[in-house]
Amino acid sequence: MASLRRKLPPLTALTAFEAAARLASFTNAAHELGITQAAISRQIHALEEILGSPLFRRLHRRVELTESGKLLASSTSNAFNQIADTVAEIAKGSSGDEVTISATVAFTQFWLLPRISRFSRLHPQIKLRIVSQDMAVNIDSGDADLTIRFGSGVWPDGVAEFLFDDEIFPICSPEFAREVGKVETPEELIRYPLITYDVTDPTWTGWNEWLAAFSVEAPQRPRGMHCSFYTEAIHVALSGEGIALGWKRLVEDLLAQNRLVRLTNASISTRNAYFVVVPRRRRKKAGVEQFIQWLKDVSKEADG
């Protein structure tokens, strides 16, 4: 069997091709690699000769990949990215024992941080870095090793594994519950201050959608306070200012501590769920595998 080196075209030609394909320009590829445009053209021409197939269509002032070029571009991009990731990991002087986790502010504050010390006690050698932001990171870009998302489980930038679904119901402080007395039906809720918040995620449920599930029309101008974020809405509810929507997975600790209480038995189940998402093209670190397994174990405990 021929050696791998004999099967592969020259690395210099593949490097020139990968840059030209990614940048869609021989000129820009030459600038990036610090060589002349003529050198790029020669390398790509030599590669086309070896393969016996054109890789680019030379158009007026631009180039365009052929079907063969697209196939090779995909392979070289994946291979070069994997090499770059491995080199970066080795250069850090560790075996990849730092794990960067991305999650929304609400999930981080109410679910992840109260439990994270349990993981650290089990795996003291793994350093955790938590990126807390509501804008979703592109997991394939290398900004995080994994992200925890709420949604359908289908995202173009990563592979998702199911963690748990959720349930939504009205909550308030014990003091507020005593003030309003018994509330039996969703229709009764609109008499009281409903705490609202800005919703940018279309998969997130607000008061309008929750009440509509019980054929109740939400008031045009709810009496309660309006917040920018869900975390703020929960803190307003804790202070006794009104009724918020409680996502069970996020507020279960506050309910267990009796800092918040359910106001009615009415609830809805979410159509979507929480998933842990990892990059498609990057090799998982050992620490990432251990963190994902821990997430699954903790999720099963909650379901049990």
Residue 143, pLDDT score: 80
Written as one letter, the residue type at 23 is: L
Q: Does the pLDDT value for residue 251 go beyond 60? A: yes
Is a pLDDT exceeding 60 seen at residue 268? yes
Is the predicted pLDDT of residue 241 greater than 50, yes or no?
A: yes
**Which of 51-55, 94-98, 139-143, 295-299 is least confident?**
94-98
Which residue did the predictor score with more confidence, 77 or 248? Answer: 248
pLDDT of residue 3: 55
At 1 the pLDDT is 39
> What's the whole-number mean pLDDT along residues 275-303?
87
Q: What is the mean pLDDT of the chain?
A: 89
Q: What does the alpha-carbon distance between residue 41 and residue 184 come to, in Å, rounded to a whole number?
A: 76
Q: What per-residue confidence (pLDDT) applies to 95? A: 45
Q: What are phi and psi of 83, to 5 degrees?
A: -60, -45
Radius of gyration of the chain, Cα coordinates, nearest whole angstrom: 27
| Residue pointed to by tokens 């793994």 | 126
Residue, of 111 and 33, whose pLDDT is higher:
111
Predicted confidence (pLDDT) at residue 304 exceeds the cutoff of 60: no
Percentage of residues of the chain with pLDDT beyond 90: 66
- pLDDT at 286 (0 to 100): 83
Q: Write down the pLDDT at residue 157.
A: 85
Q: Give the model confidence (pLDDT) of 158-179 as tens digits.
A: 899 999 999 999 999 999 999 9
pLDDT digits (tens, 9 = 90+) for 191-238: 999 999 987 777 789 999 999 999 999 888 878 899 989 999 999 999
State mean pLDDT over 249-276. 95
3-state secondary structure of 304: coil
Dump pLDDT digits (tens) for 99-110. Answer: 999 999 999 999
Is the confidence at residue 90, as pLDDT, over 80? no
pLDDT value of position 302? 66
- Reported residue count of the chain is 304
What value does the mean pLDDT take over residues 143-167?
92
pLDDT score of 5 = 56
Task: Give percent of the chain above pLDDT 70.
Answer: 93
* Residue 84 neighbours by CB distance under 10 Å: 12
Q: How far apart are alpha carbons 94 and 210 in whole angstroms?
A: 48
Residue 190 backbone class (left: φ over 0; alpha: ψ -120 to 50; beta: rest): alpha
* pLDDT score of 92 more than 60: no
**Residue 6 pLDDT class (50, 70, 90 cuts):** low
Query: CB atoms < 10 A from the CB of 149, how many?
Result: 25
CA gap 203, 152 in Å, rounded: 8
Q: Which domains does the chain have, with CATH numbers?
A: 4-91 (1.10.10.10), 94-304 (3.40.190.290)
